[in-house]
Amino acid sequence: MPVASDSYAHVPVMEEEALELLCIREDGIYVDATAGAGGHAMRVASRLGTGKLFVIDRDPDAVALARTRLAGYSCVTVLQGNYSTMDALLARVGTSAVDGILFDLGVSSMQLDNPQRGFSFQTDGPLDMRMDTTASVDAAQWLAQASRSEIIQALRDYGDVGPVGRIANKIIARRDSNRMNRTTDLVAAVTEALDFLSSMPMEVRTVFQAVRMAVNEELKHLDTGLRRAASVLAPAGRIVAITFHSGEDRVVKQIFRGWTRPEVLLSPDGRIIEKHAPVMKQVLRKPLLPSPAEISRNPRAKSAKVRAVERIPC
């Protein structure tokens, strides 16, 4: 169900750090690849004069909210779509080069706080978890169709939880008896699997995270999205990424590292055929982390990391 209120409470994570790293110019062209509730976008838009800001999200609810909250900024264009198709989305509005791109990854506060979206283990709701509510497969359907090995792989890759076999078995037992349709059903499966623990295990949170990431194919889209972002980044432009999960951060770190190192092509016998200079440079020696004060104000910032690269002019 859409969140219609323009006063929706949202605290952007590491806002000042992200804005500083983007090096916003009044006449620059920027992309917020993950609109969410529009917190970062509002701050970017407020710094623009003749420049432009393109705001992207695959969630129709987020797009509707962003259009409402950013309606007062003539420099803003809100686009519905997946950031993995960023180059095509920008081409449709006549833009092929931008000066900065922000990725604020993971699930948004708006999505977590709406029980009907099914992202939170703390409230009862349909087992949905789709970031794009028009997508054909939700979490209940994914769990109904996935094999035991696929469920175990998702729990390992995206949740780092254990014992994965016990949890997968309880999920399958519940789904086979048509008891895997609500968020409370998934919570029950995990707590039943870990009944040797005295209270609700922390694994519940990570199982929800793992299922969400699998349903939305988040790491696949992130890999593609970063590469699409690089294809439209102007010389001296920057890509800034805020991650919240080790898998997200690993993808960002590896891709950024590849861009900032020379590319060497070797022959089968090990001789150097070609050597290409790096296309980007690291802006930060190591990722920025939230301050204790920010974590105190906004506990969702606790696992955040910020990385940034800048395109080297040819």
**Mean pLDDT in order along the chain per 10 residues (314 residues):** 41 91 97 93 96 97 95 97 98 97 92 93 96 96 97 91 90 96 96 80 90 97 98 98 95 97 82 85 96 92 96 92
DSSP string, 183-234: HHHHHHHHHHHTTTSSS--THHHHHHHHHHHHHHTHHHHHHHHHHHHHHTEE
pLDDT of residue 218: 96
pLDDT on residue 10: 60
Find, among 68, 37, 67, 31, the residue nearest to 52 by Cα: 31
User: In which residue are the tokens 């699409």 written?
Assistant: 228
pLDDT of residue 266: 80
Q: What would the 3-class secondary structure string for 246-259 be?
A: HHHHHHHHHHHHHH
> Per-residue DSSP letters for the chain?
-----TT-----TTHHHHHHHHT--TT-EEEES--TTSHHHHHHHHT-SS-EEEEEES-HHHHHHHHHHTTT-TTEEEEES-GGGHHHHHHHTT---EEEEEEE-S--HHHHT-GGG---SSS--BS---SSTTSS--HHHHHHH--HHHHHHHIIIII--S-HHHHHHHHHHHHHTT--SBHHHHHHHHHHHTTTSSS--THHHHHHHHHHHHHHTHHHHHHHHHHHHHHTEEEEEEEEEEE-SHHHHHHHHHHHHHHTS-EEEE-TTS-EEEEE--SEEES-SS-B---HHHHHH-GGGTT-EEEEEEEPP-
Kindly list the structural domains of the chain, giving each domain's residue range(s) and its CATH number in brackets, ordered by start.
15-104+218-311 (3.40.50.150), 117-216 (1.10.150.170)
Please tell me the distance from the alpha carbon of residue 230 to that of residue 224, in angstroms, as a whole number.
Answer: 10
Contacts of 4 (CB under 8 A, 6+ apart): 64, 65, 68
In order of 169, 222, 263, 271, the CA distances from 268 in angstroms are 47, 32, 16, 7
The pTM for the full model equals 0.91
What does the alpha-carbon distance between residue 7 and residue 65 come to, in Å, rounded to a whole number?
A: 10
pLDDT value at residue 5: 38
Quick count: other Cβ atoms within 10 Å of Cβ 65? 26
Q: Tell me the pLDDT tens digit for each residue of 274-304.
A: 788 899 999 999 999 999 999 999 888 999 9
